[in-house]
Structure 1
């Protein structure tokens, strides 16, 4: 399940001037729109790329198109059968979009590869997708040292201008040099396959979702009609563009609207990158929204902030100052993706005047399913069906949808495709949900994640986890207990809480808080859902070690595999809070 964002904080005056609904022109796809924009605004800056330190590269539409055309000519010179799959393995950067445009113009199909995968998954993706060429770009040293082991021997590779120092592949700059641009841009039709996006693999082997140009184009117009995005907007691209959501918002939306895209250099420069961009559209994930909040609390304790926000004039100044410090003071649409937002976190941002509205979607429908609308959001709900989307709740509670983003199927996996689609053509989401009177959707759990305790009662872990991660001490939580007498939770503390726990008396203070938290959460749960204990692990869960997906969702199977051997001991201890490896 992928949560996408949507998007808000639009003023009443903006809503009063809602533009006319836009529809794609007959036969035109994202490729046609970016070519139109390059012709319309040749000298307008399209992309801004930090190059280290204070150096920044600004790329105009004409420069963007020229480099892309030259790379398309190189791809054409390889005489690959058309269409062939061509993979891109890089963090977000200007050359990612150039490579994808070159792939489109030369008649081929792009296969994004997450920049934080194991060698095994890299190898599987490249081989399963039958990729004939690989672009290697901006990658951190640790993931790259692992990922390069998965690149098949003899595979043709091209390196971006920014890439690991030990990369010895053909260089982008050398290949385009003074080469001529591609003479004839291939016409792409709406029905053609545009990309294969491999699912993040939170359960089992990644599946290759085939998406057409029509999927990419129609859903982007739906996004435009929700956000009212134009060429005057600014967007900071830093969530993995290998993921469907960022591909949609960080590539397809700019291709069609011509908005200005800024790239982030690294997590350590993130605030600087935000302030350079001054985004008007901004998307993030719960982990980062929580980190932003913790950054504020470091400078101003929550109790003091709440008092100040109750004083009318002071409240206005404090809100303005905090949003400016976060680099979000120009944001008119903001939201969160990848996982549910804790209600307390939503409420906190709303108290600052930033309304975060969630949405819901999957790679299998290119994220286009449900979106909350400005002023119409409801806490705990992910919105109503987007334009052209139908929804229904099956007899077993599963959410099923029809969407303009509906995939063509899974690449080389007809069996999985049939399992995911109903006989009458609806997409099985694998999520359970319910609707309110206004037709807004609430996610109540993941069908495959729901487990039985030894007492025969079902427990849905996600809603319980949500209550724990809303606490500023906790960064990640995994609720389990399959086959045991009661449920439990394994917790990873926030960075600040870890530091405090390492100090004298710190663990005792945190343990008391966690015991109170267990009481509070359990008081609102049915008896069979109550947690017997929480285990605080001194491990780091991240995509690089397989505990998280590339989009920062927990991998339950990996976590259970790691800690299941300890469960019997933990249950027998009868402790409410267990410290592991401290």
Structure 2
């Protein structure tokens, strides 16, 4: 269906199918459903409230919240008022919140569902702008959502955007340095949705389950924007604890997740049914299909037209494992700067181990160094207030420089072989890209996270965080498991890439301790700062597997 913008799409559904379910909020064990008409009424009243606060058209308004119905309604209200939305990751610390609010020139901020707002509030309060709290989620602020909705009449003349109008500024998750504000216009979103619609045959009024942060463009494009264009409904999990039950109830038609989620799915399945028993049952012709349907149904993915993994490389072994259950996990590739529309393993065309083929209207090339470069109508306008960094983002032909090293096969499938900035040099003078060394190690179900490093030592070493199953093993058993993975991998590598040691970490790498981004990518710079002083000491030890 053709719309001028996501805002235009919403208004069509609001008018033509007012009673169509739109948002499903799980809270206190109940599911609260908001129709398109009800969401429109609240968003329009909030748009009036925004204007009533003296916030002019074109101003920037931030959203700090986990995924919830009010996140979507706040975004709609911001756009209806002709403002630019500034999503902030809900796990952002107070100092970074202050930095983003100031840098983005935000004139107001919505504060919604959060795990620990008390620790973040100082960052919000540090900027003198109106604060609108969502009472449903226990946030009492200068203004309340319910209070403003009661006081205001629905905005009738909703902003009518042009294709080149700025729609949103998305702050990157900050794998290196401070977050940068990625600017996107309405036309970029329209282009992205059309590219997606061409390749994915979702049913009418599809169901979505939004659990990764909507502050990330992939989740927002996949669920909010595509959902609005297709008249979809969006369900939100209540908590980590209720996530499995909420997903099983939602039965989404499309499911997008990061690799760690699929690892967790695998762990939960194998806890209930060990691998040997699963293998045995799958060999029985009568039970084979029953077991597959039961497992996929328990996950809530039995009606999924497409299951997508992105944001980080997924292990091919993990993809093959799910394929045996008739669950095709299709890896895609993109970034905030291109609305995540770049390459995809499209339904029925999945080549495991690659990130797929390019979308139809994308131009691609590899630089002399092998860096993947892209050009399309959904590229960012640049980084907000960062002209020098914006200039560095594009080459002389206007192609976006992704920072990823890639290789194409004869069928046009792209494989990402590393990051330009992740390369390190051993003291033998050899440059190594760690990506292709980490993936095989992550195939081991006893290993949750891997970071291969080697600056200043003769050979690479692997820093490892055990999985839940790995932590349950004795130290000797875990050592044997890790050694087995190294012994399988090293013979396939040239001598200078062979991994000399594996260091088992004491603590997990998390968002809270600053070692993962909000999108669960490793912050390699932070890991290096903490651990690099010990590389030589670890390398000199006799043991192959060392416990920190």
TM-score normalized with structure 2 length: 0.98
Find the partner of 1:462 among 422, 432, 435.
435
Cα distance in 2 for partners of 1:361, 1:130 equals 27
Partner SS, residue 428 of structure 2: coil
Query: Which residue of structure 1 aligns with residue 336 of structure 2?
Result: 363
Match of 2:92 in 1: 117
Q: Is the contact between residue 200 and residue 347 of structure 2 (CA under 8 Å) also seen in structure 1?
A: no
Q: Match of 1:16? A: none
Determine if the alignment matches structure 1 residue 281 to structure 2 residue 254: yes
Q: Deviation digits for residues 100-150 of structure 1, max 9, x if unmatched?
A: 111111110000000111222111111110111010000002xx2332222
**1:132-211 map, 5 Å:** 132-141=107-116, 144-151=117-124, 152-164=126-138, 167-211=140-184
Report the equivalent of 1:32.
8
How many residue pairs align between the two structures? Answer: 547
Q: Which moved further from structure 2: 356-365 or 218-227?
A: 218-227
Question: Does the residue aligned with 1:449 lie in a helix, a strand or coil?
Answer: coil
Residue 217 (str. 1) matches residue 190 (str. 2): yes
Deviation at 1:358, TM superposition (A): 1.0
Any idea what the Cα deviations from partners look like across 1:464-523, whole Å, max 9, x if unmatched?
A: 11111121111111110112111011111112322x14xxxx111111111111111111
Q: Which residue of structure 2 aligns with residue 533 of structure 1?
A: 501
Cα deviation, residue 310, structure 1: 2.1
Structure 2, unaligned stretches of length 5 or more? none
Corresponding position of 1:43: 19
The answer for the alignment partner of 2:68 in structure 1 is 93
Which of these residues, 105, 111, 116, is aligned with residue 130 of structure 1?
A: 105
Moved over 4 A (4+): none
Which residue number in structure 2 is paired with residue 543 of structure 1? Answer: 511
**Offset at residue 73 of structure 1 (A):** 0.1
| 1:6 aligned residue | none
Q: Given that residues 368 and 403 in structure 1 are in contact (C-alpha distance below 8 angstroms), is that contact kept between their aligned partners in structure 2?
A: no
Q: Whole-Å Cα distance in 1 between the matches of residues 138 and 423 of structure 2?
A: 42
1:492 is paired with a residue whose SS is: strand
> 1:65-104, aligned counterparts within 5 Å?
65-104=40-79
Q: Deviations over 1:372-401 (max 9, x none)?
A: 122212111111110211111111101101
Question: Over residues 313-366 of structure 1, what are the superposed CA-to-partner deviations in whole Å (9 max), with x where a residue is unaligned?
Answer: 221111111111222222221111211110100000100001111111110011
Task: Point out the more displaced range, 398-407 or 192-201.
Answer: 398-407
What is the distance in 2 between the residues matched to 1:563 and 1:472?
A: 24
Q: Deviations over 1:407-432 (max 9, x none)?
A: 11110011011101011110001111
> CA shift at 1:164, angstroms?
4.4
Instruction: Tell which has more relative contact order, 1 or 2 (C-alpha 8 A, sep 6+).
Output: 1
> 1:291 Cα deviation (Å)?
0.5
Q: Cα distance, 1:153 vs. partner?
A: 4.3
User: Where in structure 2 are the equivalents of 1:393-472 lying within 5 Å?
Assistant: 393-472=366-445
Question: Is this contact kept in 2: 1:85–1:133, CA < 8 A?
Answer: yes
Aligned residues of 2:64 and 2:87 also touching (Cα < 8 A): yes
Q: What is aligned with 1:517?
A: 485
> What's the TM-score once normalised by structure 1's chain length?
0.92
Does residue 485 of the first structure (1) align with residue 461 of the second (2)?
no
Q: CA deviation at 1:312?
A: 2.0
Q: 1:307 aligns with which of 273, 280, 285?
A: 280
Paired residues of 1:140 and 1:164 also in contact (CA < 8 A): no
Instruction: Give the Å deviation of 1:544.
Output: 1.8
CA distance in 2, matches of 1:119, 1:545: 14
Contact 1:368 1:404 (C-alpha < 8 Å) held by counterparts: no
SS in 1 for 2:141: coil
Partner of 1:570: 538
